[in-house]
């Protein structure tokens, strides 16, 4: 093994020690540090084989962190796609990851209080906020169900 390969592997391990990363993120960060593409690919292949870099584990950790921030599945899906994960991995991780309407209710009440919206304008404003956070229209409707309808 060439010392540069060990260096790329060590740099990847240093990154993984701080938090989980997708392979695409690791590839990009290692390339930015000046490692050659072949060195990076060799290091990532070894880390994957050893179970130290795992896309599914990254996906689960990422989703959990975004749920704690109050983000919905649409936004989470987009961010995971930006990080290079394929649709099948994202779908598998998001399936049953959380009760999204309950999270939407929690996020709405944290931002606007427990009281239901007073009128259509207030409800539209709260709906736009939840859309921005990444919730589907169905989840938003379920969030408001029974609140003064």
State pLDDT tens for residues 102-146: 999 999 999 999 888 889 999 999 999 999 999 999 999 998 886
The CA distance from 9 to 39, in Å, is: 8
- Residue range 13-19: mean pLDDT, rounded: 93
Cβ atoms of 108 and 122 closer than 8 Å:
no
- Percent of the chain that is helix, strand, coil (3-state, to 5): 70, 0, 30
Cβ atoms of 137 and 73 closer than 8 Å:
no
- pLDDT for res 7: 85
Residue with tokens 């404003």: 125
CATH topology of domain 100-144: Arc Repressor Mutant, subunit A (1.10.10)
The CA distance from 46 to 9, in Å, is: 8
Question: What's the predicted TM-score (pTM) here?
Answer: 0.82
The CA distance from 80 to 87, in Å, is: 9
Give the other-Cβ count within 10 Å of 27's Cβ: 19
- DSSP for 30-53, please give it: HHHTT--HHHHHHHHHHHHHTTSS
- Residue range 15-34: mean pLDDT, rounded: 93
CATH architecture, range 3-53: Orthogonal Bundle (1.10)
- Break the chain into its structural domains and give their ranges: 3-53, 56-94, 100-144
Cβ atoms of 96 and 126 closer than 8 Å:
no
């Amino acid at each position: 093994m060439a010392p540069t390969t060990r260096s790329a592997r060590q740099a990847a391990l240093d990154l993984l020690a701080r938090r989980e990363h997708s392979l695409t993120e690791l590839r990009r960060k290692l390339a930015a540090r000046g490692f050659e593409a072949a060195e990076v690919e060799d290091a990532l292949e070894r880390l994957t084989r050893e179970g130290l870099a795992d896309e599914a584990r990254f996906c689960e950790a990422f989703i959990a962190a975004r749920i704690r921030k109050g983000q919905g599945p649409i936004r989470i899906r987009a961010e995971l796609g930006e990080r290079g994960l394929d649709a099948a991995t994202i779908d598998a991780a998001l399936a049953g990851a959380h009760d999204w309407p309950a999270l939407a209710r929690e996020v709405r009440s944290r931002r606007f209080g427990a009281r239901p919206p007073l009128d259509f304008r207030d409800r539209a404003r709260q709906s736009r906020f939840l859309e921005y956070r990444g919730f589907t229209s169905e989840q938003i409707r379920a969030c408001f169900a029974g609140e003064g309808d």
